[in-house]
A and B are shown apart, each in its own frame.
Chain A
Amino acid sequence: MVTFTLNGTERTFNGDPDTPLLWVIRDFEKLTGTKYGCGIAQCGACTIHLDGMPRRSCVTPISMIEGSDVVTIEGISGKEAEAIKTAWAAIDVPQCGYCQSGQIMSAVALLQMVPKPTDDDINSAMTGNICRCATYHRIRAAIHAAANSMEG
């Protein structure tokens, strides 16, 4: 049995220890905001925060997260998350939206680590989050807007 914290609540999982965290979140916890894209950490759609750091849940066996703190798009909070949420809505970032929860989890993590990121910082941090609608220009603008809003 694996015990972990999910969005602030202690949870346990009794199934196959090789089950990817992504499927525990989606199928057992019924939190479907975190998406399956590729299954091999190539697209970023399944990004969550594991002990405060961005992590691809599709390549994270549940056996790895005993005692860890998992935060998904449903549970993300704090000033960076609020700033990102406001900027995302104001700039109307998503098109189809499928990748966006992963994009937001990576963007929040970036602002937590680098409060005033440059274009290069954004490129480096977001390079693993692919968007088939190519909303990259709005993602970049929204991250800058969120960073600016946190300054004031």
Chain B
Amino acid sequence: MNSKTWLLAFPACFLVVAAMSLVPWSHAQEEQSLRPAAAFKSIENEEERSLALFQEAGKVIQHPRCVNCHPATDRPLQGANMQPHQPPVFRGNGGMGLPGMHCTTCHSAENISVVGQAETIKSIPGHPAWHLAPIEMAWEGKSLGQICQQIKDPDRNGNMTIDELVEHMAHDELVGWGWNPGAGREPAPGTQEEFGKLIKAWVETGAVCPR
């Protein structure tokens, strides 16, 4: 490529890169935020409002930060693409791993930054309560409607009442890890407070589930 061609190529490349960076940015902004519960008051029909509230909360519930630890098998998932966990680890007692490979072999009480690694690996996730959700709480591969029925069912939600479910979603600290997942990991959309308010408003409007 001669110098004249370079002069033409540079501005063209710049425009393409700039355009590419704008499109995913706006998409990501929408995906990364939650509409506040109050924004749904304009929906007059209560059943429709309840449904809309849960669908908004579903952006969190179906996010990889949540589903990765609600797998359909005994093996957790990891990453934004929800691939099987490496190394291959399995549920074990209380979702804490099997003897010799408990979660705590690698996961700590906090997210641990790593250095000198590939750009795609910034930290090892951790939390004091790090463990898998019980198999009856598996969400992987389920529709939002199926998950909705599941989290209302005491046999499949850890025997929680609907009020306890609201409390769990709004204040449980391991749930809260989803918004503080450590460097290199996309947090769940919005904040736990916003999410808790959506769930509370959903319950107050009849806890209607998508079909």
The residues of A with any CB-CB pair to B shorter than 8 Å are: 18, 39-42, 44, 47, 53-56, 59-61, 64, 106, 109-110, 113-114, 121, 124-128, 130
Contacts and interface: CB of A to CB of B under 8 A. Distances in A.
B100 A59 contact: no
Interface string B93-108: 0000011111011101
Given A59-B114, A121-B99, A128 B89 contact: yes
A39 B117 contact: yes
Interface in B1-33: none
Interface residues of B, number: 22
Given A109-B100, A125-B99, A39 B116 contact: yes
Contacts of A47: 105
Interface string B118-158: 00010010000000000000000000000000000000000
A132 B184 CA distance: 28
B108 A125 contact: no
B114 A127 contact: no
Most chain B CB atoms below 10 A, which of A40, A64, A130? A40
A44 B112 CA distance: 17
A130 B87 CA distance: 9
A61 B104 CA distance: 14
B102 A53 contact: yes
Given A39-B117, A40-B121, A42-B86, A64 B108 contact: yes
B110 to A, nearest CB: 8
B116 A61 contact: no
A54 B101 CA distance: 8
Interface of B: 86-90, 98-102, 104-106, 108-109, 112-114, 116-117, 121, 124
A110 B113 CA distance: 28
A125 B114 CA distance: 24
Contacts of B86: 42
Contact of B98 (A39, A61, A125): A125
A51 B192 CA distance: 34
B100 A54 contact: yes
Nearest to B112: A59
B78 to A, nearest CB: 11
A47 B101 CA distance: 11
A55 B105 contact: yes
A61 B108 CA distance: 10
A61 B100 contact: no
A124 B98 contact: yes
Contacts of B99: 110, 113-114, 121, 124-125
A128 B105 contact: yes
Contacts of B113: 18
